[in-house]
Amino acid sequence: MKKIAGLLALLLVLTGCAQASKHQKDFFAMDTFFELTAYGEHAQEALEAAEAISMELDAELSAVNPESALYALNETGGGPVEGDCAELLGIALPLCESTGGAFDITLLRLSQAWGFSGGEERVPEASEVAALLNSAGWEKISYENHTVSIPEGAGLDFGAIAKGYAGQKISELLASYRVESAMLSLGGNVQVLGRKPDGSLWNVGIADPSDEVRIAGSVAAENAAVVTSGAYKRYFEQNGVRYHHILDPETGAPAESGLLSVTIIAENGALADALSTALFVMGEEKALDYWREHGGFETVLITEDGRVLATEGAAFTPAEESDYSYSVVG
């Protein structure tokens, strides 16, 4: 009898595993490749819905698509906002403040001048940068009664936060379909829902910024976003100098902070995305000060001089053949 009960239990476990069937959906949105994997019986329909909201988010939040709600706002210098634009403004503005402006959503015209938000990649004249910088600045935004006013000569850009926000929205959507296990990769930004179907933690690789096909290590995560900002992700070279897409709001030029990449691990995708950009701009010392002061997230910093610094809670494991030295920071 006992044997039969044992066999039955085993059978139940096995069929339970088989039920957690794997479903995948890959598509292009937000200027990048979305690769969504979800498990379980509702996963397929949940992923269909996820593709649909990804397209909607793209159509609302893109600063370069002339059909988007954000584009229209930038054209008119502001106006009434609703839906995701409103929600994202509500999330982004306090982060502009708390990061001391390292994260600044008003840099669109500068990003365009460098050719990173449409147009041709080029090094703008110092005078052009100075003029555009003068018009930009998150403190100049007013946002009251569902109405935003954008400073003259500036434009809003959600490029540093929109993918993380999308990851968050997709994760919540999948959960509403009773999906318990999913891994979302939005152009390398990862958001995981629950644990792996076998109950273990997800392992998320962190790219080696000097050689993107390799990883510098990985972090173990559940119900979290793992978002990396790096100089290696988008850049061009001119006269032997490399210009990348993360701008220092103080200079209007690519941030030179001594970091190659910053990974943030946080429960919320939008927060992780905004902070990955902000801490990249801040550089090692200020980034770690920000972490100590604010908490609520973990981080892995990779420096230009070959070091990986991870907070203890990041649960980082260096790659076996890594050239970086590794230390845990407290």
- Complex with ligand AMP: residue 40 or 164, whichever CB lies closer: 164
Paired residues of 228 in beta bridges: 263
φ/ψ of residue 74, rounded to 5: -65, -35
Quick one: which of 273, 284, 297, 314 contacts Mg ion (CB under 5 A)? 273
Judge whether 249 and 256 are in contact, CB under 8 Å.
no
Kindly indicate which of the ranges 9-17, 71-79, 154-162, 299-307 contains the residues binding ligand AMP, using the contact rule CB under 6 A. Answer: 154-162
CB of 108 to Mg ion, least distance (A): 15
Amino acid at 109: R
φ/ψ of residue 50, rounded to 5: -65, -40
Quick one: which of 54, 257, 277, 303 contacts Mg ion (CB under 5 A)? 277
Which residues have a Cβ under 8 Å from the Cβ of 195 and sit 6 or more positions away? 181, 201, 202, 222
CB of 292 to ligand AMP, least distance (A): 21
Kindly indicate which of the ranges 5-13, 42-50, 77-85, 110-118 contains the residues binding ligand AMP, using the contact rule CB under 6 A. Answer: 110-118
Quick one: which of 85, 89, 174, 246 contacts ligand AMP (CB under 6 A)? 246
φ/ψ of residue 36, rounded to 5: -110, 130
Amino acid at 61: L
Instruction: Please report how the helices 83-98 and 43-61 are oriented relative to each other, as an axis angle in degrees rounded to 10.
Output: 70
Closest CA to 105 of 247, 259, 266, 234: 247
Phi-psi region of 68 (alpha: psi -120 to 50; beta: other; left: phi over 0): beta
End-to-end CA distance of the chain: 55
Is residue 23 within the footprint of ligand AMP (CB under 6 A)? no
- Complex with Mg ion: residue 277 or 311, whichever CB lies closer: 277
CB of 42 to ligand AMP, least distance (A): 30
Is residue 156 within the footprint of ligand AMP (CB under 6 A)? no
- Complex with ligand AMP: residue 171 or 261, whichever CB lies closer: 261
Residues in 159-178 that interact with ligand AMP by CB under 6 A: 159-160
249: partner contacted, choices Mg ion, ligand AMP, none (Cβ within 5-8 A by kind): ligand AMP
Judge whether 209 and 62 are in contact, CB under 8 Å.
no
Kindly indicate which of the ranges 62-70, 216-224, 225-233, 319-327 contains the residues binding Mg ion, using the contact rule CB under 5 A. Answer: 225-233
Is residue 276 within the footprint of Mg ion (CB under 5 A)? yes
φ/ψ of residue 218, rounded to 5: -145, 160
Residues in 67-126 that interact with Mg ion by CB under 5 A: none
For tokens 């498990």, name the residue: 39
- Complex with Mg ion: residue 69 or 160, whichever CB lies closer: 160
Binding site for ligand AMP (CB under 6 A): 103-105, 107, 111, 116-117, 157, 159-160, 229, 233, 245-247, 249, 273, 276-277, 281
Binding site for Mg ion (CB under 5 A): 160, 229, 273, 276-277
